[in-house]
Structure 1
Amino acid sequence: MSAGVPEPAQASPAPPTKPAYKGWAGIRRAFGTPSALTMAVLGFGCGLPFLPIASMTLSTRLRDSGLELHDIGLISLASFFYLFKFLWAPLLDRYVFRPLGFLGRRRSWLVGAQLGVGLGLAALAFTRPELGVAPLVGWVLFCSFAGATQDSVVDAYRIEIAPADAQAALAATYTLGYRIGLILGGAGALYLADFAGWKVAYLGMAALMALPLLATLLSREPATPELSVQRRIDFIGAFWQPFASFFRNNGVTFGIALLLFVGLFKFPDQVIGVMAGPFYLDSGYTKADIATVSKLYGIWAGIGGAFLGGVCVAAFGFRRMLLVAALGVALSNLAFLLMAQYPSQIWAFYAAITADNVAQGFAGTTLVAFMSSLTDRNFTATQFALMVSLANLPGKFAGGLSGYLVEASSYATFFTLSAMTVVPTLLLLAWLWPRIREAAPAPASG
């Protein structure tokens, strides 16, 4: 993908002083907008490729092909573009994708990225890991770049397509679509692989990318708001100003501490992600078991955890929920010890997945609320992409080496040590606690 015609940076809308709609009437009006359905389908397109190219579906396929655990861990690093999408996010804000420029700035990049994801998944269907991993790594790199670009553009599109009072509804429908995409990219791919082979599974995922592609082509390009004087920045400034703004607003010491906290917050969960698929297989579960429990039931457990997190953050604020979420993510790792003690027992699988996915969903919602409070609305896309990348980066790299730790000890030791990695997070939170600012509740209408 290449950049083309420069586009003016967009002004950041001023946040409203209070919600425009309240209660059930506001919910109906927000969720009833056409953009809500569009975001559900675009969210589906973002969630669909993640597991087949960057997480458990890929690692399960590699283990099923006979690869060693340390090789699987290292190959997982090929999806690193998801961790660094903030590096080219400023280009997506300032340029159109020239070959499709007639679609507009947002839709040109989105269609290009969706076509790239579909092509990459189709190509992965024809790779043979057991004959050599080089072609597979190359296509995972290509597909992860396209998928990460798609994620960044959809985030920007969601903000620009609807007014501020509809943003919560769009985020909710996006999340629902994303989770359904995860179900099909996880459970759906594993079911197909179990009954028809990995080639059919990956070709099926590639075909499903036609849905978000069609939604993009039928949707409208967001209107370009009036140019803000503060956002009239040159090419170089598009890269450094978002970062300079973050440290200018927070100070260097506090800013670094915030970024470290975001990077470590979900580390206990991220570090075990690569080994999850191989652990399930090595514990005696079939691909169909994994699909049913982990990628079907588990996704809905995660949705429940996300809604629980949203309710608790609304009721108590995100600061106290950060502590609850950090402890929950770490302690949920210990639930996998049940599976290590009772291999092949389906009840142990359900118990571990319930604890893990509810904790993940709760922590994800809490972290999004926290990161949103740190974002300068003049640089929303770039700063949010940076923090999302930081939230996954440390655990991703540690996960790449996790196979060596399991081979040197045991799965039980690995899960115990992963839970203990929450200690630096808790120490940072203790230091940040009196310094974290929460917005005052919006005044009630009427």
Structure 2
Amino acid sequence: MATDTAPDKLARRLRARDLVEDRRIVLMLALGFSSGLPLLLVLGTFTLRLAFSDIDVKAIGLFSYVALPYSLKFLWAPLIDRIDVPVLSARLGRRRAWMVTTQVAVAICLVLMAFADPKTSLALLGLGAFLVAFCAATQDVVVDGWRIDAAGTDFQGILAATSNLGYRLGLITAGAGALFLASDKGWTFAYLTMAALMLVGLVAALLAPAFDRGRPEVATVDAAATAATPKAAGTRLWSVRQAVLEPLVELRERMGPALWGVLVLVALYRMPDFVSGVMASPLYRTLGFDLKEIATVTKLYGIWVGIAGGFAGGWAMARFGMFPTLLAGAFLAAASHLSFAWLSTGGPEVWRLTVAISIENFCGSFAGIALIAYMSSLTTPGYAATQYALFSSLYALPGKLVAGTAGYIVAAFGYPTFFVMTSAVGIPVVLLCLAVGRTPSRRHAPVVLNSAATPAAAGDGNPPVSVPLPTGSPGVPLRTRA
């Protein structure tokens, strides 16, 4: 017994020491921060800036489209893994070169946003926001790739959790921090400060080990070998076709006609959140809340309520199972929008805003965990990356496309009716849950709730049997009302 216990104690001591001394932990925390920082600067904080500049509510709704690169990054992610940055890649390695390039680009675009006045240079401000979103989404792809390369199997969970913590610190900084700065020093100073804080990720990228160093040479040899004969090139093309088509064919064969219902369910499940979220900031401005009140309630308090809702969703998943949690999440997320309809009928009382944010963020995060688990359960081992990319892109993209029309609906019918309408979308979602929520999921492996799972992000491709628990996600953070 003594000989068995001593190695166990030694292993535990080594793991504890690694958490303190391994520089990958600190680097991942900083890189996660730089990934989370730009998100709200083109979403919640950005729409608040527009609202407090008295921009028309219809234009604010249309500006939600500038964040589309976050949902479309899977389209150019393969190129980032294959193309070198001139000069920098030879010195830093491919991943570090892309990290440095995208972080510098984000900082430059934030400076552009800082000096663009919404009242006189609205188009320039929108262009800056779109460029920030594009560069930041590309940065997310590179940081995720570095994290996977930097950690072995046993260390993936630790780095994923660390990245998520840094991501949330970035969200708080770009949310509450930027609003407090804007309230005291103005929007230009706030955005310049956020641009300067990108130095955190830049320093981490320069200090990070180049785990991918040497891969371009191997790739070049392989490419030359395969390109030597037309037959080999044709085989490579067919392999790519198989990699794309086979996962989709497997889904159709396994689910049959029910697949179409599943796809509609995934597309509609979070659509009310995306559509209503764009109009939250203009509502705060219309009701008369100031920036400090909004920052305190929505950006600080609201994030922690969202975390609590995520934990509740994870507990419900473990206690009651997939289908009841999915059904409850669909109902709660849609019904919670009625709290904003109620908020829009009163005055700028902080207690009313606190109640609405509490209901909205708790229920939305609960539903977010349920959807992540459901989408993960639909994949098959061996095809999980492509299949999950399909589902995770589908759940985000339709809502963001429709969100651009939110301002026109508010202008025509008012805020109370708008939020009641978004809540009503939950009726067909609940019916779809009853119809296809029990669709057989995996052919081989069951879903396992794992608090150390790699966070879900659109197009990132996650381990097929891991469902992230309520800590959130760098690629797709748990919904907190912006």
The normalised TM-score by structure 2 is 0.78
Residue aligning to 1:70:
58
Q: Is the 8 A contact 1:183 1:296 kept in 2?
A: yes
Superposition pairs of residues 345-356 of structure 1, within 5 angstroms = 345-356=349-360
Superposition pairs of residues 256-275 of structure 1, within 5 angstroms = 256-275=260-279
Q: Is the aligned partner of 1:245 residue 2:246?
A: yes
Q: Provide, for residues 324-377 of structure 1, a one-character-per-residue CA deviation record: whole Å limited to 9, x for no partner.
A: 222221121111133123321111111111111122322333333333444567
Structure number with bigger Rg: 2
Could you say if the C-alpha distance between residues 311 and 161 of structure 1 is closer, same or farther in structure 2, counting changes exceeding 3 Å?
farther
Q: Please, which of 301, 308, 320 is the counterpart of residue 305 of structure 2?
A: 301
Q: Is the aligned partner of 1:412 residue 2:413?
A: no
Amino acid at match of 2:144: D
Aligned counterparts of 2:64 and 2:208: Cα–Cα separation in 1: 34
Please report the RMSD computed on the Cα atoms of aligned residues, expressed in angstroms: 3.3
Cα drift, residue 65 of structure 1: 1.4
Residue aligning to 1:85:
73
Cα drift, residue 106 of structure 1: 2.4
Aligned counterparts of 1:34 and 1:98: Cα–Cα separation in 2: 28
Q: Is the 8 A contact 2:331 2:426 kept in 1?
A: yes
Aligned counterparts of 1:379 and 1:26: Cα–Cα separation in 2: 36
Residue aligning to 2:371:
367
- 5+ residue gaps, structure 2, are 1-11, 223-231, 449-482
Query: Greater CA deviation, 330-339 or 413-422?
Result: 330-339
Q: What secondary structure, in the 3-state scheme, does the structure 1 residue paired with 2:84 have?
A: strand
Could you say if the C-alpha distance between residues 308 and 271 of structure 1 is closer, same or farther in structure 2, counting changes exceeding 3 Å?
same
Aligned counterparts of 2:19 and 2:131: Cα–Cα separation in 1: 35
Q: What secondary structure, in the 3-state scheme, does the structure 2 residue paired with 1:341 have?
A: coil
Amino acid at match of 1:72: I
Q: Please, which of 397, 407, 429 is the counterpart of residue 401 of structure 2?
A: 397
Q: Is the 8 A contact 2:378 2:441 kept in 1?
A: no
Q: Is the aligned partner of 1:325 residue 2:329?
A: yes
Could you say if the C-alpha distance between residues 255 and 242 of structure 1 is closer, same or farther in structure 2, counting changes exceeding 3 Å?
farther
Superposition pairs of residues 206-217 of structure 1, within 5 angstroms = 206-217=195-206
Residue aligning to 1:21:
none
Q: Provide, for residues 31-87 of structure 1, a one-character-per-residue CA deviation record: whole Å limited to 9, x for no partner.
A: 66644443332222121111111x121111112112100011112212221221111
Q: Is the 8 A contact 2:94 2:212 kept in 1?
A: no
Cα drift, residue 156 of structure 1: 2.9
Residue aligning to 1:158:
147
Residue aligning to 1:46:
35
Could you say if the C-alpha distance between residues 283 and 331 of structure 1 is closer, same or farther in structure 2, counting changes exceeding 3 Å?
same
Cα drift, residue 154 of structure 1: 2.5
Could you say if the C-alpha distance between residues 220 and 391 of structure 1 is closer, same or farther in structure 2, counting changes exceeding 3 Å?
farther
Aligned counterparts of 1:241 and 1:145: Cα–Cα separation in 2: 29
The normalised TM-score by structure 1 is 0.83
Aligned counterparts of 2:97 and 2:258: Cα–Cα separation in 1: 38
Residue aligning to 1:59:
47
Aligned counterparts of 1:437 and 1:30: Cα–Cα separation in 2: 38
Amino acid at match of 1:196: K
Aligned counterparts of 1:113 and 1:133: Cα–Cα separation in 2: 24
Aligned counterparts of 2:429 and 2:15: Cα–Cα separation in 1: 36
Amino acid at match of 1:46: S
Residue aligning to 1:137:
126
Query: Greater CA deviation, 241-250 or 217-226?
Result: 217-226
Could you say if the C-alpha distance between residues 36 and 420 of structure 1 is closer, same or farther in structure 2, counting changes exceeding 3 Å?
farther
Could you say if the C-alpha distance between residues 433 and 383 of structure 1 is closer, same or farther in structure 2, counting changes exceeding 3 Å?
closer
Residue aligning to 2:108:
119
Cα drift, residue 286 of structure 1: 0.6
Q: Is the aligned partner of 1:437 residue 2:437?
A: no
Query: Greater CA deviation, 381-390 or 70-79?
Result: 381-390
Aligned counterparts of 2:432 and 2:13: Cα–Cα separation in 1: 41
Cα drift, residue 188 of structure 1: 1.0
Q: Provide, for residues 128-152 of structure 1, a one-character-per-residue CA deviation record: whole Å limited to 9, x for no partner.
A: 1101322112212211110111122
Could you say if the C-alpha distance between residues 189 and 350 of structure 1 is closer, same or farther in structure 2, counting changes exceeding 3 Å?
same
Q: Is the 8 A contact 1:326 1:422 kept in 2?
A: yes
Q: Is the 8 A contact 1:114 1:213 kept in 2?
A: yes
Residue aligning to 1:341:
345
Aligned length: 418
Q: Is the aligned partner of 1:422 residue 2:435?
A: no
Cα drift, residue 88 of structure 1: 0.8
